[in-house]
Chain A
């Protein structure tokens, strides 16, 4: 968390993360080039290079896509999520090397502009099996480029968290395009069913983890209010751990009700940084701390402590015995609300 923009705020954890990514890339590249030198000496350098970086990007995309649901299933993986964008940018660089070399190798030094050639060489757009698979990879690369270039907090701030999040959800479209690119392209040259099986397994793992994490979150999405109600019962105070929250859904929005120092406060669950789940965060130094990237908000007014300026909606609460009631109507972002004090606090 930083007041001004810097390219990367390095710390020990971030360095450890990036060293891990570097080891990942280097070890695969050494294995792949070395393996080809021994097992496939006839393969040309360009072919090995294109395949190496294509496969690396493909593998890294799978890792990126499993981190989100893994974190929902086990919060210990938040340490992987925090710097996920580093993995994303590295994956884009791998994909860009693959794409640029492919275009140079297959389309340059010809009678047509290389970029035009990508679209106009194979014209069997009406055939599934003969579809020009390079076009699919090209569009996937454009999406990855969009996400990589806007991954910095500068763009997050200027685009707004919802637009930014929507833009970065395009990773799923990119994944679909890449799967088709691989199945209609590289796999067509291979006779072993094992490689097809590996692609299928990757898809099954990603889909399963997303379904499992969705099922885990589903109970919090059941709305507890109806359109006419003022205060609705949210939960029992004993259901909320100290310095933690319970997430409920009112008026179509997830709301996090925090318990801290014998008090209760409710704020919108959507972190203004990247849309992280504030209700899965913790009160640290008197502030709600987002589990994704550590953005902080004061529970009593939903405002980030100065000099930060992020704000979330707040909600009125009331206590009847040990039952917590919430007014489903959100108050404007950053509106101070007197915390509810628990008698046995």
Chain B
């Protein structure tokens, strides 16, 4: 007589030996799952302190600027800051800029004050705004004369960092840098969102530069292939309110030597 246990799955019951094996497998799996989950939570890379105020619309009043990027210059906690403006999704807000030009008629942007409504994107001291409602974002245009904007030249510099798409980076997604975010960043920059060079200070990002060509014009197409990878850019640096701009000297990108001074995998340069 063969008393050896045998398992048949379509029967209602199972013998004790098989049930024990199932219990052992289940407990071991859940235990491994918990150990892995806790380990992952403890060792995963820290998230940047940023926030996308999704679902809440905020009004901002100020002066429209076109340089270094389309934005609204306003006061925040006693400081004059520029809030760059982006469109819904992975697009720029240039249709709104064109509409503002149309609605302001002959007047220049330093002769009018506008009120715009959108969704705020925060990252420490930087504020961006998504013009979520498109043309409906323009609430009010009034006459007001603003003094000229002071642009301070800092001189020529070579800066190492990572080109990011600022809409995601400053809060819409988190994390939004490095290779894992590259495809999304390429889509955003290809959609007109102005590229930003983010500079690391150790583990944290600490400084940011808008990247333009030598005339201060958008350079989105040329930088796309270098988004999400470490780069070294050389160009003329300017300071405009709370933002810096690096105007690279040529539209041609080419790879140069590995940058041993950084943690970066590859190193590229504007020549």
Chain A residues in the interface with B (C-beta under 8 A):
1-2, 9, 11-14, 16-17, 20, 23-24, 27-28, 31-32, 35-36, 39-40, 42-44, 46-47, 55, 59, 63, 70, 74-80, 82-83, 105-112, 117-118, 121-124, 129-130, 132-134, 184-186, 188-192, 194-195, 198, 241-244, 281-282, 284, 289, 291, 293-294
Contact = CB atoms under 8 A, between A and B. Distances in A.
Given A31-B34, A74-B21, A110-B188, A24 B29 contact: yes
Contacts of A190: 43-45
B146 interface: no
A215 to B, nearest CB: 21
Contacts of B19: 79
Contact of B39 (A28, A194, A291): A194
B6 interface: yes
B55 interface: no
A245 B33 CA distance: 38
B36 interface: yes
B41 A36 contact: yes
A19 to B, nearest CB: 10
B174 to A, nearest CB: 5
B173 interface: yes
Given A79-B21, A111-B191, A189-B179, A35 B38 contact: yes
Contact of A105 (B43, B46, B175, B184): B184
A258 to B, nearest CB: 12
A40 B37 CA distance: 14
Contact of A294 (B9, B39, B183): B9
Contacts of B25: 70, 77, 80
B254 to A, nearest CB: 15
A11 B8 CA distance: 12
B177 to A, nearest CB: 8
Nearest to A185: B180
A110 B12 contact: no
Interface string B19-42: 111100110011011101111111
Shortest 10 CB-CB contacts between residues of A and residues of B? A109-B89, A82-B9, A76-B21, A121-B183, A106-B184, A192-B43, A42-B47, A110-B90, A110-B187, A35-B41
Nearest to A188: B179
Contacts of A289: 6, 8
A11 B179 contact: no
Given A24-B30, A42-B174, 4 more contacts: A189-B179, A198-B39, A282-B2, A294-B10
Contacts of B229: 130
Contacts of B181: 106
B193 to A, nearest CB: 10
Contacts of A27: 30, 33-34
B21 A111 contact: no
- For chain B, the bracket of interface size reads 35 or more
Interface of B: 1-2, 4-14, 17-22, 25-26, 29-30, 32-34, 36-52, 88-91, 172-175, 178-184, 186-188, 190-191, 225, 228-229, 265-266
A121 B182 contact: yes
Given A13-B14, A27-B30, A117-B187, A42 B173 contact: no
B250 to A, nearest CB: 22
A74 to B, nearest CB: 7
A78 B44 CA distance: 36
A184 B187 CA distance: 20
Contact of B183 (A36, A47, A132, A281): A132
Nearest to A14: B9
B174 A43 contact: yes
B47 A40 contact: yes
Contacts of A42: 47-51, 174
B18 A79 contact: yes
27 contacts: A1-B10, A13-B13, A16-B22, A31-B38, A35-B41, A44-B173, A59-B33, A63-B29, A74-B21, A76-B21, A77-B21, A80-B25, A82-B9, A105-B184, A106-B183, A106-B184, A107-B184, A107-B187, A111-B190, A130-B182, A132-B183, A189-B175, A189-B178, A189-B179, A241-B4, A242-B2, A284-B8
Contacts of A189: 45, 175, 178-180
Interface centre among B17, B179, B225 (most CB of A within 10 A): B179
Nearest to A19: B26
A5 to B, nearest CB: 14
Contacts of A70: 25
A121 B227 CA distance: 11
B17 A76 contact: yes
Nearest to A290: B8
Nearest to B25: A80
Contacts of B21: 74, 76-77, 79-80
A42 B45 CA distance: 12
B265 A129 contact: yes
A294 B47 contact: no
A28 B190 contact: no
Given A12-B12, A43-B174, A106 B187 contact: yes
A253 to B, nearest CB: 24
A78 B7 contact: yes
Contact of B10 (A9, A55, A59, A77): A9
Contact of B12 (A13, A83, A105, A194): A13
B14 A79 contact: yes
Contact of A121 (B4, B18, B186): B186
